[in-house]
Structure formats: C-alpha cells, structure tokens
Structure 1
Amino acid sequence: MREAAPADRATTAARPSLSERRKEALRLDIAREAVRLFVSQGVTSTTGDQIAEAVGVSTRTLWRHFPTKESCVRPLLTAGLDAATDQLRHWPPETGLLDFLTRSCRHGTLPSADPAVLDLIRMTPTEPALRAVWLQAHDDALPVLTEVLARRSGGSADDLRVKVHAATVNGALRAAAEDFAVRFADEARASEEDLAACLHAALHAASEGLPY
C-alpha cells in the first residue's frame, strides 16, 4: 500500500473532517433561520425554540451550539471575516493591502454580499445583543490580522505600531460592511464592484492616517 506523500498528508490534515463540515453546515442553517425570524418578527419576539423548530433540530441541540439566541447569528458574521483573513495569507509581497483586498473582492475571491448578512448588519445598530456579537466577531479576528501584518512587516505582533495598524484595518473592514449594508438596503442584489468600492473607500481612508 502506497504511503501518502507529504503533500497528500498536509492536504488531508488541513481538510475538515466530515463531522466538522456537517457541524459547520448546521451552524450556518441555524444562523440563517435565526436571521430570518429576527427580521420577520423581531429579536425580542423570537425564541430559541422557534429557531430550533425552523431548522428541524431539538432546542437542546441548538443550545449545544450557541449559548444565546442572538449568538446563533455568529457564523454568518464570522464567515466574511474568516475569508478576508484567510485571503491575506496569500497576499503577494509586491502588492499593497488596499489594492490586494479590493482586487480580491472584485474578482470574487472574497464572498459576495449575502442578503442574510446584510439584513443582520442593518439590525445591529438597534439591537444591542446583536451588536455585541458583531463587535465580538471583529475582536476575535484582530489577533489574526495582527499576526498577518507582523509577518508582513517582519515585526512582532506585540509591537504597538503593528497592533494599531491591525486595529485600523479591522475597523475599516467593519465600517465598509456597515456602510455597504445601509447604502444598498433597497437593492435586490448589489454587485461585487459595489462592495469593492465600499471596501476600497474605507481602506483608503484608513491609509490616509489621521488628518486632525
């Protein structure tokens, strides 16, 4: 029997198991049903039992995956951030951050705008519990961005300058998502070019520094 080559073993190790993929698929189903119910009847009026019933799982299963009904939406919020941080691992040395992320968005390398995510982001200003989940998702992404920028600069993730730059990029990504969600609230489907324009504007403002 042929032994797996190192590249084969690396690919196998990097690929999530079937149970992990099923778990992630279930978490996304729960997130989408939670958003649908939150939008149609409000967060306060929605219960964990209703979300579980909409997905077709027991309430006990729901609470095994999420501690609160509001946290059910987290997989949708983290998906875009995870994709952006993963994309940064393939950031070419000769390309600037602004150009790379904008180009990735235009070419469809980053996820396209998900209507459920946009609905969710539009709710965060008036729903404190959802806002907390949204901000926590960005806070959790910050160490990853810091490591990426540290490697890029040859510096340390503990360097204050690197931390500030990572926080700036993180804030720009959040501001771009929120601006896009509000600006295209009445559009049936905004294009990748529209999303890229919002992202480019936010990162460009961040790269200008403080003009005050």
Structure 2
Amino acid sequence: MARRDQPTVTERLAQERRISIARKAMEIFVADGDTSATVERIAEAAGVTPRTFHRHFAAKEDVVLPIFRASWEAVIEALAKAPESGDLVEALVAVWTSEFPDGRLSDFDRAFLKLMVTTPQYRLRWLEADDDLYEAVADLLRRRISLEGDPLLQTLPAYLIVHATRHVFDRWLTSETDEDLVDMLRRAFRITLAGVGVL
C-alpha cells in the first residue's frame, strides 16, 4: 500500500482545531502566569466543549503539544535546509532561531516557555521532541563533517547538540541572565563541537 503524504481534509481540520485550542491555552497560561486554568476554562475560551477538548487531548497538559510539534517540525525542516558549507556553529544557531522574528524570542513566547520548563508535567511535553531532533541533527552533521569510524562518534555530537540546546533554553528562560540567547547558543555549540573534536 502506498504511503499517503498529505493529510485528509478531516485530519487537517482536526489539526487546525487542536492548534486553535492550544493557542487559547497558551494565552490563558501567560495571562495568569501559571498553568492552573481548567479544561473548562480553556475550552470555553476556544469556543469548544470540554468533551471536544478531550476528543483532541487525552490530558490537559497535552494541549501544548501542537505548539511544540509545530516548533519541532520547523527546526527539523530548517536542519534539512541548512547550508552544507560555511560555519557549522552559525548554521546551528540559525536553525534554532529560525522561528523567531529577527532571531529573537518575543516576551510573550519567553513567558510561555518559562512556564513550560518550570512546570514538571508540561516540561515532559517539551522534552518529547528529542528523539526526532537527534536524527535531524545527525543528518546535518553527516552532510557537513566526516564522522566515520567509531559508531559512538557518529551519534554523540547530535545528542550533545540537542541537549546543549535544551540546556541553553532552560538556563536562559529560568535565570535572570541578561546574556543574549543567540550568544549563549553560539557558545554552547562551540564548546560541544570542540569537545567531541569536530571543531
């Protein structure tokens, strides 16, 4: 049976509904400064019933997954399109900031992500992307540098880059640092790649 690449109209509409509900939840969480809003409140703001909410999300915390998935997909796409020459560190920085206007995260998005990384049940949803990201980073590295020989060296840089990225975002979101996110990413990627002998 041939693999279907395009979603059906029903699947597309369901995804649009999930994203719409997720955005309302995001707005409420940021306005409240916490994630305590009930399913009923989120559903009402999104113009759906709690039953419809639960048709799309098994648990309240899953409401953020469409936002995270869209972000992960954008990063994976940016990794696939990253240039195959030039400064690898700058290419990685460009990938992880590709969704931000002018490479900067808005105050609203920063407030939302801070809630996500500091609330355990939401943090778990944020971390779900790692498996998909590892392979996409590994593909970029295979195109850019020779990682032949030791099987560990073929995969370790990708894992370290994903973890370094998560660590930078975590630190930048939860500390009172004035350091620029782009500069932090740049520094982390240089340290990581130098540590495995890639730079």
TM-score scaled by structure 2? 0.73
Q: Structure 2: 5+ residue runs without aligned partners?
A: none
**187, 190, 195: which one aligns with 1:204:** 190
Provide the rounded CA distance (Å) in 2 between the counterparts of 1:111 and 1:22: 26
Counterpart of 1:25 in structure 2 is 16
**115, 125, 128: which one aligns with 1:136:** 128
Structure 2 counterparts to residues 49-198 of structure 1, below 5 A: 49-103=40-94, 109-112=98-101, 113-153=105-145, 159-182=151-174, 194-198=180-184
Do 1:138 and 1:174's aligned partners in 2 also have CA atoms closer than 8 Å?
no
Q: CA separation of 1:116/1:16 partners in 2, compared to 1, >3 Å: closer, same or farther?
A: farther
Do 2:147 and 2:153's aligned partners in 1 also have CA atoms closer than 8 Å?
no
Shift of 1:184: 7.3
TM-score scaled by structure 1? 0.70
Q: CA RMSD for the aligned pairs?
A: 3.4
Give the residue type in structure 1 aligned to 2:84. Answer: P
Secondary structure of 2:195 counterpart: coil
Provide the rounded CA distance (Å) in 1 between the counterparts of 2:95 and 2:142: 21
CA offsets 1:79-119 (integer angstroms, 9 cap, x no match): 333222211112222223212133456xx743332544422
Secondary structure of 2:129 counterpart: helix
Shift of 1:23: 3.5
Counterpart of 2:27 in structure 1 is 36
State the identity %.
29
Provide the rounded CA distance (Å) in 1 between the counterparts of 2:21 and 2:100: 19
Q: Structure 1: 5+ residue runs without aligned partners?
A: 1-12, 188-193
Give the residue type in structure 2 aligned to 1:141. Answer: L
Provide the rounded CA distance (Å) in 2 between the counterparts of 1:164 and 1:85: 18
